Amino acid sequence: MAAITAPPHPPPATSTSYRLRRAPLIRLASSRFHPRRPSSSSASWSLSSSSGTGSGGGGEILHVSPPPPPAAPPGTPVYVTLPADAVGPGGRVARRRAMAASLAALASAGVAGVAVELWWGVVERQGPGMYDWSGYLDLAAMARRCGLRVRAILAFHQCGAGPHDPLWIPLPQWVLEEMDNFPDLSYTDRYRQRNKEYISLGCDILPVLKGRSPMQAYSDFMRSFRNTFEDYLGAIEVQVGMGPGGELRYPSCPTEKLNQPGSPSELGEFQCYDKFMQASLSACAQILGMQEWGNGGPTVTGGSNQNIEETSFFRDGGCWDTPYGRFFLEWYSGMLLLHGERLCMIADAVFSGTGVTISGKVAGIHWHYYTSSHPSELTAGYYNTLLRDGYLPIAQMFARYKAALCCSCFDLRDAERTDSESSPEGTLRQLVGAAKMCNLPLNGENSVARLDDTSLNQVVRSSRLYSGRTSGTSFSFNYVRMNKSLFEFHNWSRFTKFVRQMSDARTFLARLDFRRGQRYLSSMSVVWVVSRACAYT
């Protein structure tokens, strides 16, 4: 059964001309996105060192009269992601009384809304087309009573690392049975290791799920959601899950490793060895008359934790920058882009005319960002190198469907990295730059659940990257996620202060200052709020 895919646009007719063609320089002004590696003195930038919103550059002024002063950007609404098991595997709100108290506390702090994953494995657990939304309806009603908006994350991926994980929520059992019966529905690497976090995009439009294709299953899920939550659509946003961890990417590295602060920088593995991906790769190679290019992914990438310069593919001057490397990476990233476009197209059709805004998330893969080949991004499906902007095509695709872009890394600093080749700040600058160029609304997120002054200052600093945006676009920040520590006295004090400052437009025109010993306004007793924390033990 061959995969039906739209191959990348073929190069000129002869393979000889293709061999001579260099990768297109999609990046406009690459120096803005790939600055020289900062020195140790510049890495420790302080929030107090810059209070203006203008950008540097030192270029010649081309106009005689000064430009009008920039309008103050609107304040940034803050959302809080609820616990992953806010609705348990049985479809009911977990810890209901504590949840109601927590939502009231968030509303009192000035939070605009909550984000919640609507797990495929919970909603459609009983069988194909059998949807149980009762727990999520209950949660939406609780949020509405508190005046909170809801950002619904349609989660078509698994939660947790396995049955031993206390937050384990797998794909629906009937989907897992199909994956067990037909292992090629799972992403597969060159070692034949299968990954069941998310169905392989190679079979997107094939009827492999009891007569339905994955895209049909996702579409039916969205339509059922729209019809069920009709009364709430005015206060709901929809983030469409597009891959492992809900992100538009391949599972080149297990999600739990990406979420662990200080985890070793991995190169990742190309996920193109299931039969559907192999069929697509082979077909594209045959179109070019280069059948040998369709026999599989690169075999000289080294081990996942190997030094880049010891690999033939990723090292400087390696195979990634050869005709074969460019062919493979264009196909690999093109398949991911096509997957995202299919989902955006479905979401746009389902929610058209409802007033619901849609969004998709791009992963903040910052490992090895200061290398030429960016291997960790390549294996994740982002064809982003020193010579090519891999995020602009994604932003352009989102723009075609008026979808917002969600990305993390807003709390991470290069100064805290464990690997000198990593750059969360550089990755974020490039993602935000792509969003601004395409006039996309942006939803920022933190990568690590921290509430110390350093982390919160970094969020505000990172949010300023989106200042000066075009009128009509919006920016919001999503704190991930609500847990016991959020309601501890000192953390709650910092958090409420942070929410008010993010919501105040003046924050983005003046420097942030967390003063020690300052009293923080709250409409309810801090002691009462702290007592709610016991619900998350």
Residues 431 and 405: beta-carbon distance below 8 Å: yes
Alpha-carbon distance values, 341 to 221, 269, 386, 400, 458 (Å): 17, 23, 25, 9, 32
Say which residue the tokens 């005046």 belong to: 147
Annotated catalytic residues are 247, 445
Quick one: tokens of 145?
Answer: 């009573």
Quick one: tokens of 166?
Answer: 């206390």
Nearest CA among 408, 464, 405 for reference residue 439: 405
Quick one: tokens of 155?
Answer: 């989660």
User: DSSP readout, 429-448?
Assistant: HHHHHHHHHTT--EEEE-SS
CA–CA distance, 99 with 103 (Å, rounded to integer): 6
Instruction: Decide: helix, strand or coil at residue 334.
Output: helix
Handedness of CA 381, 386, 387, 389 (dihedral sign): positive
DSSP assigned state of 232: G
DSSP assigned state of 294: G
CA–CA distance, 376 with 365 (Å, rounded to integer): 7
Q: Strands 404-407 and 358-362, how do they pair? A: parallel
Largest CA distance in the chain: 73
Phi and psi, residue 291, nearest 5°: -55, -30
User: DSSP readout, 179-243?
Assistant: HHHSGGGEEE-TT--EEEEEE-GGGTTS-TBTTB-HHHHHHHHHHHHHHHTGGGGGGEEEEE--S
What residues form DSSP beta bridges with 80?
Answer: 114, 479
Instruction: Give helix then strand counts, H and E, for the chain.
Output: 17, 10
Q: Strands 149-155 and 236-240, how do they pair? A: parallel
Say which residue the tokens 């923080």 belong to: 520
> Residue 405 is inside which H or E element, if any?
strand 404-407
Alpha-carbon distance values, 459 to 38, 247, 428, 507 (Å): 20, 20, 11, 12
Q: Which residues of 192-220 are buried (b: 16+ CB within 10 A; e: fewer)?
A: eebbbbbbbbbbbebebbeebbbbebbbb
Quick one: tokens of 305?
Answer: 């934790």
> Residue 80 is inside which H or E element, if any?
strand 78-81
Nearest CA among 75, 184, 170 for reference residue 120: 170
